[in-house]
Amino acid sequence: MARVAYNPYLPSWEYVPDGEPHVFGERLYVYGSHDVADGRSYCPGDYVCWSVPVDDLADWRYEGVIFRKTDDPSNADGSAPLFAPDVAQGADGRYYLYYALASMMQGKPSHIGVAVCDEPAGHYRFLGNVALPSGAELDSDSGYGMVFDPAVYVEDGQAWVYWGFGMPKASPRMPVASTEGSWVARLSSDMVTMAEEPHRLAPAKLQAGGTSFEAHPFFEASSFRRIRGRYYFIYSSLQGHELCWAHAESPEGPLTYGGVLHSNGDVGMPGKPTEAEATYYLGNNHGSLVELPDGRVFVFGHRHTHGHQNSRQGVAEPVTIREDGFVEQAEMTSCGLNGGPLSAQRETPAYCCCHLRSSEGILHYSSSVTWNEAHPHVAQDADAGAATSAFAYVHNLRDGAEAGYKYLAFTGEERCVCLEMRGDLSGAVSVRLDSPDGPEVAWVPVECGEAWAWTGDPLLAPVEGAHAVYLITQGEGACDLRAFAFAKE
């Protein structure tokens, strides 16, 4: 059978958030930071790269480690993590990696490091730190905001670097620099030294009053793209879970707020105006747009697993851009890069859920919330720490929990639904179409055990066409769900 592009798009054991997608040659490369399963801090891993042919978005290839924490000479002991990076091809044909070494974790000013490589996914060699026109190193004490989440954009051989942070107020832990929004500077031909002084770009909370950004002020995750002849600045707003976009008149601005591009809980989609209606557990977001050679446009972002913010997985969705350049918000799905719905008859991994709620709703992981056992989450098992032998599943589905999948294609030939489960649930799973309150097409009695096992039941009526599928847990106890499928017999 042909390969399928699930969402998240990388293997279930891989955690690459903050994804910046770029097309170089005939491949799409994603550069991001590197979390781990059930991690206890952001970005503990070295930078890795994954790529895929632009004409087969299911055939992802691991390119290996491209830059280690210890490759930065100021981080020889590897104690500072590598936060979100970006990559661009310079006028000399080489590839330049811009990254934020999180020196603030040791109480030091952060800087933007630059590394270089002759190919998109080789091992990058440290080149230097971004410097002001005077030659002094740019850091968070330079007077140009907090040096965080750098991005790079190159056009006709000219490069610009972006950075910034947007806390709503300063604190002993977060200085005034962290409240000043985003910045941009044009680089000289060495790709390290600025050709002119930086200037402000997108406003944070303290500067956004009375501007088009007031309701969605800049927080972090700067990114810049040119799509179909128009400039777009992409960023994460103060809401945290959403990526927003702004029109830019040039790579240096000015900017006009455009709209929400992606929310990792679908907040802002029809029928979901607030976080109370979110369909997946909320947390920070970071990503960007990419246009493929055939004209298709996708947004890359990330979602959260393991019941917290430190184990994030990349997701991607197709994007619709209107004739006037307006970018419509992308819906969260389970089939993002697939080019259409998944086959209902194929075994669908449960971790690809794009809808996950408990009977108590969802949580926003970046808020001051109290986690409790009512809530499900995506988790994984691993053998002796060997990540690639792990598999992911949905953990702790209790009475009233909902796991949803968009979209599955039915032929009308399916006769039963099969679920792979474990746990101590004594009850049933209601299978519904189109919404959690939609028509019920199966009622599967469940008596789970400790080991993974399949159970199933006939469909109540034939189903045809593409539908969202929702699995609603009912009964006493809890279960884990690893996969499901709709079979012909």
* CATH number of the domain residue 466 falls in: 2.60.120.260
Q: Is residue 3 part of a domain?
A: no
Concerning whether 414 is annotated as a catalytic residue, the answer is: no
d(CA 420, CA 422): 7
Q: Which of 109, 124, 128, 234 is nearest to 187 (CA)?
A: 128
pLDDT at 417 over 80: yes
Q: In terms of domains, do 309 and 327 share one? A: yes
Q: Is residue 396 part of a domain?
A: yes
Q: In terms of domains, do 477 and 334 share one? A: no
Q: How many domains would you assign to the chain?
A: 2
d(CA 127, CA 115): 5
Q: In terms of domains, do 358 and 301 share one? A: no
Q: In terms of domains, do 364 and 405 share one? A: yes
What confidence category does residue 387 fall into, taking pLDDT thresholds of 50, 70 and 90?
low
pLDDT at 118 over 60: yes
Q: Is residue 2 part of a domain?
A: no
Q: In terms of domains, do 321 and 359 share one? A: no
**Residue 174, pLDDT score:** 73
Concerning whether 190 is annotated as a catalytic residue, the answer is: no
Q: In terms of domains, do 329 and 231 share one? A: yes
CB 146, CB 83: distance < 8 Å: no
pLDDT at 235 over 70: yes
Q: Which of 302, 323, 338 is the last residue of a domain?
A: 338
Which position has the token pair 């989440």? 149
pTM here is: 0.95
For residue 180, which amino acid is it? Answer: E
Q: Is residue 8 part of a domain?
A: no
CB 112, CB 138: distance < 8 Å: yes
Q: Is residue 9 part of a domain?
A: no
Which residues are CB-neighbours of 255 under 8 A, at least 6 positions away? 201, 202, 213, 233, 246, 247, 248, 249
Percent of the chain with pLDDT over 70: 96
Give me the catalytic one of 18, 139, 180, 414.
18
Q: Which of 319, 338, 357 is the last residue of a domain?
A: 338
The CATH number given to whatever domain includes residue 235 is 2.115.10.20
**Residue 384, pLDDT score:** 42
Q: Which residue has the higher pLDDT, 307 or 382?
A: 307
Q: Which residue has the higher pLDDT, 380 or 174?
A: 380
Rounded to the nearest integer, the mean pLDDT of the chain is 94
Q: Is residue 210 part of a domain?
A: yes
CB 73, CB 8: distance < 8 Å: no
d(CA 400, CA 25): 48
Q: In terms of domains, do 318 and 460 share one? A: no
Q: In terms of domains, do 368 and 326 share one? A: no
Q: Is residue 375 part of a domain?
A: yes
Q: Find the DSSP H helices in 65-218.
A: none
d(CA 470, CA 92): 51
Q: In terms of domains, do 56 and 110 share one? A: yes
190-210: pLDDT as tens digits: 999 999 999 999 999 999 999
Give the H/E segment covering residue 125. Answer: strand 125-129
Give me the catalytic one of 220, 242, 252, 480.
220
Q: Which of 317, 338, 359 is the last residue of a domain?
A: 338
Q: In terms of domains, do 354 and 324 share one? A: no
Strands 402-411 and 342-343: parallel
**Residue 300, pLDDT score:** 98
What confidence category does residue 43 fall into, taking pLDDT thresholds of 50, 70 and 90?
confident
Q: In terms of domains, do 358 and 307 share one? A: no
Q: In terms of domains, do 155 and 106 share one? A: yes
Q: Is residue 6 part of a domain?
A: no
| Structural domain containing residue 150 | 20-338
